[in-house]
Amino acid sequence: MGGPRVLVVDDSRIFLDAAVEFLIGQGSVGEILTAESGQGALMVISASPPDLLIIDLAMPGMGGLELTRRIKARWPGIPIIVLTLHDSPYHRRAAFEAGADAFVPKTHIEYELIPVVSRLLIQ
């Protein structure tokens, strides 16, 4: 598969399946990987770092903010999009302070995610 590799991290299998279907339908990425936890994401990234990550904030165990911090500490060049239902100034600020490159509310996925993915992959 040509195109960038994207890892989507969310504790909801239903959301992961929908996100994969959405990204495939847009045709803007190549391989789409998934992980249902922060630890699972770190294992995937350690084996073969993707070109971009899309991470949910609220996950049991290691949440999205901690995962973002850990990824940026070890793989600072991987762009991270926080994609979450928690859309507030507090959550946005916390995501950017953790090292996120972009923040997209899940309620805006249909019209905000692909432009942000494209912008981050072109940089």
3-state secondary structure of 9: strand
Domains and CATH numbers, the chain: 6-122 (3.40.50.2300)
What was the pLDDT predicted at 2?
A: 67
Question: For residues 59 and 12, what is the distance between their CA atoms, to the nearest angstrom?
Answer: 9
Q: Per-residue pLDDT tens, the chain, 123 aa: give them.
A: 468 999 999 999 999 999 999 988 887 788 999 999 999 999 999 999 999 999 999 999 999 999 999 999 999 999 999 999 989 999 999 999 999 999 999 999 999 999 999 999 886
**pTM for the full predicted model:** 0.94
Distance between start and end Cα atoms, the chain: 21
pLDDT confidence of residue 94: 97
The per-residue pLDDT for 123 is 63
Q: For residues 65 and 97, what is the distance between their CA atoms, to the nearest angstrom?
A: 9
Q: How far apart are CA 1 and CA 106, in angstroms?
A: 27
Quote the pLDDT of residue 32.
93
Tokens, residue 73: 């500490």
